[in-house]
Chain A
Amino acid sequence: MTMLSPYRVLDLTTERGLLCGQMLGDLGADVIKVEPRGGSPARMIPPFVDDRPDPDRSLYWWAYNRNKRSITLDLERSEGGELFKRIVERADFLIESFDPGYLARIGLGYHVLAAINPRLIEVSITAFGQDGPKANYADADLIIMAAGGPMILTGDDDRPPVRVSVPQAYLHAATDAAIAALAAHHERVTSGLGQQIDVAAIQSVAMATQSNVLAAPLGAQEARRMSGGVKVGPLHVPLVWPTRDGYVALTFLFGSALGVFSKKLMEYLCERGFCDEATRDKDWIGFGENLASGKEPLSEFHRANEIVRSFTKSHTKTELLKLAVERGILVTPLTTVEDVVQSEQLASRGYWQNVQHNELKRTIRYPGPFAKFSATPVEYRLRPPLVGEHNQEIFSRELGLSADRLASLKRAGII
């Protein structure tokens, strides 16, 4: 038995929320992807297998739709809506990411569905939320990252702020939605009642600012972007450093917690001849405060950074990673996607999962379970579904539609 196997999830999401249903599916829930005829528009998001655009070949789709079954249903036509209501009768969760108000407009708003199934938990994922002055704003990943705070902090200081090249905003929102759904479920166990959940991606990505979104209300200094680091007041703090063969992330910071690691780093650098003993013996814990008070001039900060840089530049990423393991230095390499897939660490933990795609006669390697559960391990039971792959199974076998009825619904273009 898996963790959420007793529960059924109806997943109506577009690219705004696909990950939410997949998380519940990975945890064992029966997730039914309800798609418009011809399939979800998210199936046409690149990249594609062999770069051939096709609703059943989108790798974007594959990344967020395993452990789901697919049916197609035209919700905008009354017969489609009625069939959908029958499916809702037995559902535990409904996840949707339409523009605010869309489901109500087609007669499938929360109150209609809750009258059919009062236990239903309906989760809505949008960019700006279900109401409010910007609720109907047009959106995209880039727009949310701009509105919610991460972007102004990211990129080179002489160029526009940037996003992560792989869209992130709706993934943050979808994970927040999954938590909220399970919290509401916990409450439902005693009350027997469902409820509505409203997730706004702009708020979810504000969480991705390391709390710098709080700078203004706290009366604190705003951090500013700097390639591979951050500017705080006069301090330009590098977090990415050059090596002989690329870059590493290395933390060289001060204060009562992080200064301890900087002290350790400087001890090693002194041992290796990159700095003198006087530099090694500086108060690295108090260094930040000493810079602020002027006890240490800014030039000393620059000199220390140069020492660290000369050290990283004369080593390879692999050599530096070895130091992280052996000496506890706070350093890891900046890897490419290829490095990640070939990582020894991930291999040793059996991370990658091979999933059969019989329709393509291929075995595909997927990123593995998001956590290792000792009693109820995550299983990749179902590869991402083809468009309407489970129409027969769900409409005939589970909903009891006759073959004739199913055929006529297909002819009418409802299914």
Chain B
Amino acid sequence: MAQRRPLEGIKILDFMWVMAGPASTRILADYGAEVVRIESPTRIDTARTLSPYKDNTLGPDSSGLFNNCNAGKLGLVLDLKSPRAKEVISDLVRWADVVTESFSPRAMRGFGLDYDVLRAIKPDIVMLSSCLMGQTGPLAGIAGFGNMAAAISGFHNLTGWPDRPPAGPFGAYTDYVSPRFAAVAILAALDHRRRTGEGQYIDLSQAESSLHFLGPALLDYTVNGRCDERAGNTDPRFAPHGVYPAAGEDQWVAIVCRDDREFASLCDTMSRDELASDHRFARAAERLNHRAELDELVAAWTRTLAPEVVEKTLQARAVAAHRVQNSSEILADRQFQYRKHFVELEHPTLSHFTVEGPRALLSRTPAEARRSAPTLGQDNAYVLEKILGYSEQRIIDLVVAGLFG
């Protein structure tokens, strides 16, 4: 028998789509929550269209992103605009502890499913809405993705080289940050409900939650009036602190010396002991003033070596270093393998599918991704028969009414 997971018994009705929303309920599903996600029969979840694709082939089930964000959930395809949607949704709300959605503000009201409606059905429901800029304010209505929330929150301007246009963090950055805040918010609200019987509504702005990842820069402005700018790979405390070229095409290694001792070890490893006593480099403050010269010296050494050789040699001397890894290098990385980061799951149409595993190891009740993300409508029968206990006749009536597209 499979081990009991920590959130078993928690039931989530999940209207979230694309990335930021589903990523949060994926985490809760790993911990054992039962998540029923609703998909539209007419409007495809954007995530199903996004790369990387299994075997490089586009198809409704082949998106690695979709699978990664939805593993472990049940899938119910249902047309929210159908006149009879409300009766099924109402029953699911009565079943659920939590309702989540990530549409643009007002969409749930349009479906007749805003918090006041849900609360009338189930007074202690916890509902979380996650959208780009929050449910209110002049920009509440803007549609978009995490790259847009990241740009308007300052992440892009703070990523890249000072002498170049902003590079921006990769992809929809706030979609990786805000799901963690959403999951924490839901769990805290559930604990409050358990103790007091009180449910509530949570308005999570992906931009506002993500701004906590820029906290020090925001305070530097509100306190010191300084507007931080992108600074390449430099650091205010450490030098060397950079990404250096290694032998081979697009091969790189990151190196950080956190104190003078580590710098001396680096010099020794490079067979350049004289640098450790050079007045330009001996102490951290001087190294920061001679950063560029120092970077040249380090690069001259790394350039001829394989990145993993630099990493191992320096780490053997307790100097922080790591090759810059792409997906295939991470797949082969001994530490990622040790932590079973990649999990292969059976898949109904593609035989099997690899997703990332749970991101924390619990000693007694470990999290686990138990099944692949649902194909379209994969669990319609299970949800209607087993969860809602509908009769065969009732299900046929709903099918005829066009509820499932």
Across the interface, name the chain A residue whose C-beta is closest to B180: A175
- Choose from B31, B212, B254 the contact partner of A146 (Cβ within 8 Å): B254
User: Could you list 6 examples of A-B contacts with CB < 8 Å?
Assistant: A132-B335, A133-B334, A172-B176, A203-B339, A222-B327, A345-B138
Q: How far is the CA of A371 from the CA of B20 in the complex (A)?
A: 14
* B23-55 interface with A by 8 A CB criterion: 23, 27-28, 31, 43-46, 48-55
Do residues B170 and A207 form an inter-chain contact, with CB atoms below 8 A? no
Do residues B52 and A223 form an inter-chain contact, with CB atoms below 8 A? yes
In this complex, the interface size class of chain A, counting residues with CB under 8 Å from chain B, is 35 or more
Do residues A219 and B55 form an inter-chain contact, with CB atoms below 8 A? yes
B114 within 8 A of A: no
Do residues B190 and A186 form an inter-chain contact, with CB atoms below 8 A? yes
Given A151-B243, A374-B201; A209-B252 close (CB under 8 Å) = no
A407 within 8 A of B: no
Q: How far is the CA of A203 from the CA of B305 in the complex (A)?
A: 27
Which stretch from B157-165, B379-387, B393-401 is at the chain A interface? B157-165
A382 within 8 A of B: no
Additional 17 contacts, C-beta under 8 A, given A325-B139, A336-B157: A3-B188, A129-B338, A137-B315, A139-B320, A162-B243, A166-B213, A171-B177, A186-B10, A209-B170, A215-B327, A240-B165, A255-B58, A337-B154, A340-B211, A344-B137, A349-B134, A371-B208
Across the interface, name the chain B residue whose C-beta is closest to A199: B360
Q: How far is the CA of A189 from the CA of B365 in the complex (A)?
A: 13
Q: How far is the CA of A130 from the CA of B363 in the complex (A)?
A: 12
Across the interface, name the chain B residue whose C-beta is closest to A240: B168
**Binary interface encoding of chain A residues 133-174 relative to chain B, with 1 for a CB under 8 A from any of its CBs, else 0:** 111011110111111111111111001111111101001100
* A174-227 interface with B by 8 A CB criterion: 175-180, 182-187, 189, 193, 195-200, 202-204, 206-225, 227
Cβ–Cβ < 8 Å partners of A337 in chain B:
154, 157-158, 214, 217-218, 220-221, 227-228
A116 within 8 A of B: no
Cβ–Cβ < 8 Å partners of B23 in chain A:
207
Across the interface, name the chain B residue whose C-beta is closest to A209: B170
Do residues A161 and B187 form an inter-chain contact, with CB atoms below 8 A? no
Given A162-B243, A222-B327; A339-B219 close (CB under 8 Å) = no
Do residues B224 and A50 form an inter-chain contact, with CB atoms below 8 A? yes
Ordered nearest first, which 8 A-B pairs have the shortest CB separation? Answer: A63-B215, A175-B180, A220-B52, A249-B151, A132-B338, A257-B46, A187-B6, A210-B171
A152 CB to closest chain B CB, in angstroms? Answer: 5
A45 within 8 A of B: yes
Do residues B224 and A149 form an inter-chain contact, with CB atoms below 8 A? no
Do residues B7 and A187 form an inter-chain contact, with CB atoms below 8 A? yes
Do residues A227 and B167 form an inter-chain contact, with CB atoms below 8 A? yes
A380 within 8 A of B: no
Do residues B147 and A183 form an inter-chain contact, with CB atoms below 8 A? no
Given A142-B233, A214-B355, A335-B154; A195-B254 close (CB under 8 Å) = no
Which stretch from A32-40, A73-81, A298-306, A326-334 is at the chain B interface? A326-334
Given A160-B243, A164-B155; A373-B52 close (CB under 8 Å) = no
Q: How far is the CA of A302 from the CA of B37 in the complex (A)?
A: 38
Do residues B52 and A184 form an inter-chain contact, with CB atoms below 8 A? no
Which stretch from B73-81, B192-200, B274-282 is at the chain A interface? B192-200
Most chain A Cβ neighbours within 10 Å, of B195, B207, B214, B228: B214
Q: How far is the CA of A375 from the CA of B233 in the complex (A)?
A: 43
Cβ–Cβ < 8 Å partners of A161 in chain B:
243, 252, 324
Q: How far is the CA of A198 from the CA of B64 in the complex (A)?
A: 26
- Choose from A62, A152, A225 the contact partner of B325 (Cβ within 8 Å): A152
Do residues A166 and B228 form an inter-chain contact, with CB atoms below 8 A? yes
B interface residues, how many (CB within 8 angstroms): 168
Cβ–Cβ < 8 Å partners of A177 in chain B:
360
- Choose from B58, B171, B218 the contact partner of A340 (Cβ within 8 Å): B218
B265 CB to closest chain A CB, in angstroms? Answer: 10
Q: How far is the CA of A52 from the CA of B176 in the complex (A)?
A: 34
Do residues A257 and B49 form an inter-chain contact, with CB atoms below 8 A? yes
**Binary interface encoding of chain B residues 321-345 relative to chain A, with 1 for a CB under 8 A from any of its CBs, else 0:** 1111111101101111011011010
Cβ–Cβ < 8 Å partners of B252 in chain A:
146, 152, 160-161
B263 within 8 A of A: no
Cβ–Cβ < 8 Å partners of A248 in chain B:
151
A86 within 8 A of B: no
A94 CB to closest chain B CB, in angstroms? Answer: 14
Do residues B204 and A375 form an inter-chain contact, with CB atoms below 8 A? no
- Choose from A162, A198, A203, A255 the contact partner of B161 (Cβ within 8 Å): A162
B377 within 8 A of A: no
B172 CB to closest chain A CB, in angstroms? Answer: 6
Q: How far is the CA of A324 from the CA of B132 in the complex (A)?
A: 12
Do residues A367 and B202 form an inter-chain contact, with CB atoms below 8 A? no
A100 within 8 A of B: no
Do residues A349 and B49 form an inter-chain contact, with CB atoms below 8 A? no
Do residues A340 and B153 form an inter-chain contact, with CB atoms below 8 A? yes
Q: How far is the CA of A83 from the CA of B53 in the complex (A)?
A: 55
Across the interface, name the chain A residue whose C-beta is closest to B220: A47
Cβ–Cβ < 8 Å partners of A143 in chain B:
254, 256, 320-322
Q: How far is the CA of A45 from the CA of B334 in the complex (A)?
A: 32
- Choose from B46, B244, B363 the contact partner of A196 (Cβ within 8 Å): B363
B78 CB to closest chain A CB, in angstroms? Answer: 18
**Binary interface encoding of chain A residues 216-254 relative to chain B, with 1 for a CB under 8 A from any of its CBs, else 0:** 111111111101101010000001101000011101000
Across the interface, name the chain A residue whose C-beta is closest to B30: A183
